[in-house]
Amino acid sequence: MAIINVVKGFKDILPDEAGKWRYVEDKTREIFCHFGLKEIRTPVLEKTDLFRRGIGTATDIVEKEMYTFFDRGEESLSLRPEATASVIRAYIEHSLHAADPVAKLYTIGPMFRRERPQKGRYRQFHQINVEFLGLDDPFADGEIILLLTHLLKSLGLEALNLEINSLGCPVCRPAFREAMLTFLRGKEGGLCTDCGRRISTNPLRVLDCKIAGCGEVIADAPRLLDFLCPSCTDHFTKVRWTLDEFSLSYRINPKMVRGLDYYTKTAFEITTEFLGAQNAVAGGGRYDGLVAELGGPDLPGIGFAIGMERLISLLPLKDEDFRSAPHLFVAALGEEAKNRAFVLCNRLRMQGLQVEMDLTGKSLKSQMKRANKMGSRYVLLLGERELQGDHAELRDMAQSTQTTLNLDTLEETLLNTLMNR
């Protein structure tokens, strides 16, 4: 019978690698707690209209990449390609804004896009997402960027580059759009197919194209920063002040527009030179009209997303750094010894010790090899001879010493010996 393999573009996270994931998730939750964020968990399956309205019909995600299907009731559903729209849907649906318009939320979980798999990119991928809702103060922009950079540095990442830009607002962006259209007219032949289509649907996205030929065409394109209204200019100046106060280095990238339609004002990305052309580790920005667009009150928002697969690939840590060795391995020989060992192991586990034993009936030599392979410093030897003598032998593998323990007080002695090791 043929083996069934994982779906193309999906990936198993095996036990040796899972330790890194737990480390990142635990560190993330710890730091987010310090910054006052609360966790929210939303379904991976949503109504397709949520993403059409939230992300925009002219984006690559909605046009080409979503996993969309009709359920038995002929309702169009999609696996979530990003988290922001889902978080805002929950924020509106459960009237979280009624109790307090300001919400600082985060979620960690899988997203789905049917794009070409490549290094560090999968069709099921995982993200850390943060959303600040109800805050239009530029200090919120600065805080969320500081939070992001602090998290990445706390995880041990180096050689990271922060890029920022302002995308303007509905007041000042129409003039920039017209300037871009004027600039691009007659240059369609030098653009890729996608950018040629974007000229009529979303000309700002041409600035986001990573294809070299498109980059040459737009080298002298208008700068959005030159079209900002006074309000957006003031907002961006204050955001930069917050970063300067913490001596956080950054580069203003006037061609950075982000990939989704809902962004306004502040946009930011953190990149690294270790990932090639697709070099973004994290990115985000402000989306002041999105809550209202999805049927909620007219409240502002700003957020970011970190790609977990990319993040973990950059961690300066090895899989073995996260392997936990048992406190004790119990090597039992004989049926009665196995019975006693089974009870002892599980009683010790219930009191906080990590304990292992062999359940396959292997020889003492094989059990000792397994204990050594698992990295257990202590091995408890329990066989017929030990039972007859009402004792067990505790061997310290590191010191090559052995201590005789009384069976009557064995559990208490092991707890006292091993709990603080």
Domain with CATH 3.30.930.10 in the chain: 15-172+228-314
pLDDT digits (tens, 9 = 90+) for 65-76: 888 999 887 899
Give the whole-angstrom CA distance, residue 304 versus residue 105. Answer: 11
Give the whole-angstrom CA distance, residue 358 versus residue 368. Answer: 10
Burial of 210 (0-12, 13-18, 19+ CB in 10 A): exposed
pLDDT digits (tens, 9 = 90+) for 338-379: 999 999 999 999 999 999 999 998 999 999 999 999 999 999
Distance of CA 122 to the CA centre of its chain: 13
Give the whole-angstrom CA distance, residue 396 versus residue 381. Answer: 11
Asked if 163 contacts 250 with a C-beta cutoff of 8 angstroms, the reply is yes
- For CA atoms 181, 186, 187, 193, give the dihedral sign: positive
Only one residue has tokens 């990445």, namely 152
pLDDT digits (tens, 9 = 90+) for 16-64: 889 899 999 999 999 999 999 999 999 999 999 998 887 766 566 666 6
**Cβ neighbour number for residue 369 with a 10 Å cutoff:** 12
Which pLDDT belongs to residue 222?
84
The Cα angle at residue 255 between residues 267 and 177, in degrees rounded to 5: 90
* Residue 145 identity: I
* Residue 391 identity: H
Element (H, E) at 370: helix 364-374
Which pLDDT belongs to residue 274?
60
Asked if 270 contacts 280 with a C-beta cutoff of 8 angstroms, the reply is yes
Q: How many Cα atoms are found within 13 Å in the side-chain-facing hemisphere of 83?
A: 25
Asked if 51 contacts 38 with a C-beta cutoff of 8 angstroms, the reply is no
Angle, helices 15-34 vs 138-154, to 10°: value is: 140
| SS3 category, 221 | coil
Give the whole-number percent of the chain exceeding pLDDT 70.
94
| SS3 category, 213 | helix
Which pLDDT belongs to residue 316?
81
Question: Could you tell me which residues come within 8 angstroms of residue 399 by beta carbon, excluding any fewer than 6 positions away?
Answer: none
Kindly tell me if the per-residue pLDDT of 106 is higher than 70: yes
Q: What is the DSSP letter of 65?
A: I
Residues making up the chain, counted from first to last:
421
Burial 222-245 (b: 16+ CB within 10 A, else e): bebbebbeeebeebbeebbebbee
Give the whole-angstrom CA distance, residue 95 versus residue 91. Answer: 6
What is the fold of 15-172+228-314? BirA Bifunctional Protein; domain 2 (3.30.930)
Which pLDDT belongs to residue 262?
74
Asked if 286 contacts 300 with a C-beta cutoff of 8 angstroms, the reply is yes
Lowest mean pLDDT among 20-24, 260-264, 378-382: 260-264
Give the whole-angstrom CA distance, residue 12 versus residue 124. Answer: 10
CATH of domain 324-418: 3.40.50.800
pLDDT digits (tens, 9 = 90+) for 154-191: 998 888 899 999 999 989 888 888 888 888 777 777 77
* Residue 406 identity: N
DSSP secondary structure string for all residues of 393-411: EEEETTTTEEEEEEGGGHH
pLDDT digits (tens, 9 = 90+) for 209-218: 777 777 777 7
Give the whole-angstrom CA distance, residue 285 versus residue 268. Answer: 6
Give the whole-angstrom CA distance, residue 240 versus residue 174. Answer: 24
Q: Where are the alpha helices (DSSP H) in 115-192?
A: 138-154, 173-184
| SS3 category, 318 | coil
pLDDT digits (tens, 9 = 90+) for 139-153: 999 999 999 999 999
Asked if 265 contacts 168 with a C-beta cutoff of 8 angstroms, the reply is yes
CA-based max dimension of the chain: 95
| SS3 category, 305 | strand
* Residue 101 identity: P
Kindly tell me if the per-residue pLDDT of 275 is higher than 60: no
Which pLDDT belongs to residue 63?
64
Domain with CATH 3.40.50.800 in the chain: 324-418
**Cβ neighbour number for residue 2 with a 10 Å cutoff:** 4
